[in-house]
């Protein structure tokens, strides 16, 4: 963990963050609304005071609130509760999935169910982290480019904070995700293109005078946004009794969630919150948008952009910025990746629901189907403790699965008997 020497102060109250550092060339910058290195154009991430992180104890975390802010001392902003822009997400259920494990021939399997967050996806974590930082940096309007879940969360956070929002989405997003963004009353802009087109436009908007007061959570304040994903790693380790699982399976869109969960486990070992971190990391993509998996299978770090298709729209980022870093984490840990088609995704949604009572959106179906495939390939150890991540609620993607009544009968005992309901 590097520490920036060029920054002596922080714009954030009592923050352990010292600056921004390039993931490629290690150039350092002050804490600001900047996401790319001026020297090599690599992505920036938050750099921390290693001594400050080392002072964080299990007892301090356990004494905190029952949400992601119990880890505030490990995040760039939000140590002072009065500075937070948040719906207080986090501490979502870690469900022991014995029925699913039995069907798949596994010993110990857990589902980290982030559909229990306020807007029903893990995006509440990254938005809370990003907008808390953005507010302290002086931004007055909140925005994003989104495949759906992020749009929900930004609009909801802005409404809670009493700030205006403007959210940009692909025009063909699922109706459920459009409604659950529009209901919060901010501006919702549908772009006639895919997510990569939307994201490119938002990057251009950040350079205009008209948007200089606007924090795009996954563009100009992206380094802070990405750090919120680490809490999915922190929580799992704490919920397992302060230990890291042997294996994790994580859905990939940009690839950032996988890298940050892996980083969280490693950080916890470095500062003594867990005894060791020897996790094997596995990535999951839809076959309709699988550029990271393709690069790994071709033994290259070069991500070739694709035009996304398929039902897993929340994962449809055809040019994934963190793809090379996800590949590096998987290779280093001894894990792997796989992709699955739409039918496998639907089967994964149904299998998870039938065995655990968790109704996942399409990204969760991708994870379950990938878990099944990795087991069949012998890539994943069925005897090792495994955690899979469900990042969103199935009610948002109802069009992906067809389901209905198993019987329709008249309201009489006779009709119920004739239908075979009484044995």
Q: Do residues 244 and 306 both lie within one domain?
A: yes
The 3-state DSSP class for residue 144 equals: strand
Q: Which of 195, 222, 249 is the last residue of a domain?
A: 222
Q: What angle do CA 234, 238, 239 make, to 5 degrees?
A: 115
Q: ∠ at Cα 260 (256, 264), nearest 5°?
A: 175
For the beta carbon of residue 267, count every other beta carbon within 10 angstroms.
21
Residues in contact with 209: Cβ distance below 8 Å, sequence separation at least 6, in sequence order: none
Residue carrying the six token digits 């807007």: 119
pLDDT score for 257: 98
- What single-letter DSSP state applies at residue 309? -
Q: Give the C-alpha distances (Å, rounded to integers) separating 198 from 164, 252, 316.
A: 20, 19, 12
Query: What whole-number distance in Å separates Cα of residue 18 and Cα of residue 1?
Result: 12
Based on the fold, state whether residues 239 and 116 are members of the same structural domain: yes
Spell out the alpha helix ranges (H) of 271-333. 291-297, 323-333
Dig out the tokens for 180 from the structure: 């659950």
pLDDT at res. 187: 97
pLDDT under 50: residue ranges of the chain: 1-9
Distance of CA 369 to the CA centre of its chain: 18
Residues whose CB is less than 8 angstroms from the CB of residue 110 and which lie 6 or more positions away in sequence, other chains included? 94, 95, 96, 97, 236, 240, 245, 385, 386, 387, 388
Shared-domain flag, residues 114 and 141? no
Say if strands 28-29 and 17-22 run parallel, antiparallel, or are unpaired: antiparallel
Distance from C-alpha of 152 to C-alpha of 393, rounded to nearest angstrom: 12
**Tokens in use for 267?**
């950080």
What is the C-alpha separation between 73 and 75, in angstroms, rounded?
A: 6
Question: Does 45 fall in a domain?
Answer: yes
Q: What's residue 2's pLDDT?
A: 36
Residue 11 lies in a domain: no
| Residue 65, φ and ψ in degrees, nearest 5 | -70, 160
* Domain of residue 164, CATH code: 3.40.50.1100
> CA distances (Å), 178 to each of 94, 127, 151, 384, in order?
28, 18, 8, 40
Look up the domain containing 159 and give its range: 123-222
- Is residue 7 within 8 A of residue 28, CB to CB? The reply is yes
Question: Domain total for the chain?
Answer: 3
**Is the residue at 240 inside a domain?**
yes
Task: State whether 106 and 233 are in the same domain.
Answer: yes
SS3 210: helix
Backbone angles phi, psi at 303, to 5 degrees: -90, 120
Residue 310 lies in a domain: yes
Q: What is the pLDDT of residue 167?
A: 97
If asked whether residues 234 and 114 sit together in one domain, one would say yes
Residue 377 shares a structural domain with residue 319:
yes
- Comparing CA positions, the residue from 284, 301, 241 lying closest to residue 373 is 284
Domain end (from 55, 79, 103): 79
**Hey, what are 134's tokens?**
């953005």
Average pLDDT in the chain: 95
Say whether both 176 and 232 belong to one domain: no
Is residue 8 in some structural domain? no
- In this structure, the answer to whether residues 266 and 383 fall within a common structural domain is yes
In a domain, 188, yes or no: yes
Residue 417 lies in a domain: no
Q: Are residues 187 and 61 in the same domain?
A: no
Whether residue 361 sits in one domain with residue 254: yes
Q: What angle do CA 336, 342, 345 make, to 5 degrees?
A: 60
Same domain, 353 and 396: yes
* DSSP secondary structure string for all residues of 214-275: EEETTTTTHHHHHHGGGHHHHHHHHHTTS---SEEEEE-SSSHHHHHHHHHHHHHHHTTSSS
Residue 140 covered by a domain: yes
Tell me how far apart the alpha carbons of residues 256 and 307 are, in angstroms, rounded to a whole number. 19
DSSP code string of 347-390:
HHHHHHHHHHS--B-HHHHHHHHHHHHHHHHT-S-TTS-EEEEE
pLDDT for position 404:
86
Q: Which two tokens stand for residue 92?
A: 């979502």
Burial 136-169 (b: 16+ CB within 10 A, else e): bbebebbbbbbbbbbbbbbbbbbbebebbbbbbb
Residues 260 and 293 reside in one and the same domain: yes
Q: Which of 194, 222, 250 is the last residue of a domain?
A: 222
Q: Model's pTM, two decimal places?
A: 0.94
Q: Please tell me the distance from the alpha carbon of residue 164 to that of residue 186, in angstroms, as a whole number.
A: 6
Bridge partner residues of 170 (DSSP):
191
pLDDT of residue 423: 76
């Amino acid at each position: 963990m590097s520490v920036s020497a060029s920054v002596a102060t922080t714009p954030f109250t009592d923050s352990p963050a010292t600056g921004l550092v390039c993931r490629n060339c290690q150039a350092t910058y002050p804490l600001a609304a900047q996401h790319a290195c001026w020297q090599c154009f690599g992505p920036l991430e938050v750099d921390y005071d290693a001594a400050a992180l080392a002072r964080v104890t299990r007892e301090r975390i356990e004494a905190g609130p029952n949400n992601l802010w119990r880890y505030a001392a490990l995040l760039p902003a939000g140590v002072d509760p009065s500075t937070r822009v948040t719906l207080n997400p986090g501490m979502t259920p870690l469900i022991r999935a014995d029925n699913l494990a039995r069907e798949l021939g596994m010993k110990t399997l857990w589902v980290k169910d982030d559909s229990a967050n306020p807007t029903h996806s893990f995006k509440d974590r990254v938005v809370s982290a990003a907008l808390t930082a953005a507010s302290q940096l002086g931004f007055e309007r909140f925005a994003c480019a989104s495949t759906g879940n992020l749009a929900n969360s930004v609009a909801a956070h802005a409404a809670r904070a009493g700030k205006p929002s403007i959210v940009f989405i692909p025009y063909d997003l699922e109706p459920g995700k459009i409604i659950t963004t529009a209901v919060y009353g901010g501006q919702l802009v549908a772009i006639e293109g895919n997510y990569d087109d939307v994201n490119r436009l938002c990057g251009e908007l950040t350079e205009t005078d008209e948007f200089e007061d606007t924090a795009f959570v996954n563009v100009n304040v992206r380094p802070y946004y990405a750090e919120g994903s680490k809490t999915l790693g922190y929580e799992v380790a704490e919920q397992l009794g302060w230990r890291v699982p042997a294996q994790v399976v994580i859905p990939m869109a940009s690839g950032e969630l996988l890298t940050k969960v892996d980083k969280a486990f490693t950080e916890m070992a470095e500062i003594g919150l867990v005894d060791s971190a020897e996790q094997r990391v596995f990535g999951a993509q839809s076959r309709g948008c699988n550029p990271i998996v393709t690069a790994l299978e071709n033994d290259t770090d070069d991500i070739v952009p694709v035009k996304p298709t398929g039902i897993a729209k929340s994962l449809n980022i055809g040019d994934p910025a963190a793809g090379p870093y996800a590949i590096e984490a998987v290779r280093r840990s001894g894990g792997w990746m796989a992709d699955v088609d739409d039918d496998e995704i639907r089967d994964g949604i149904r299998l998870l629901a039938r065995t655990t009572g968790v109704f996942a959106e399409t990204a969760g179906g991708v994870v379950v189907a990938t878990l099944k495939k990795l087991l069949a390939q012998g890539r994943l150890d069925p005897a090792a403790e495994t955690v899979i991540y469900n990042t969103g609620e199935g009610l948002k993607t109802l069009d992906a699965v067809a389901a209905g009544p198993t019987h329709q009968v008249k309201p009489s005992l006779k009709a119920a008997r004739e239908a075979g309901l009484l044995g």
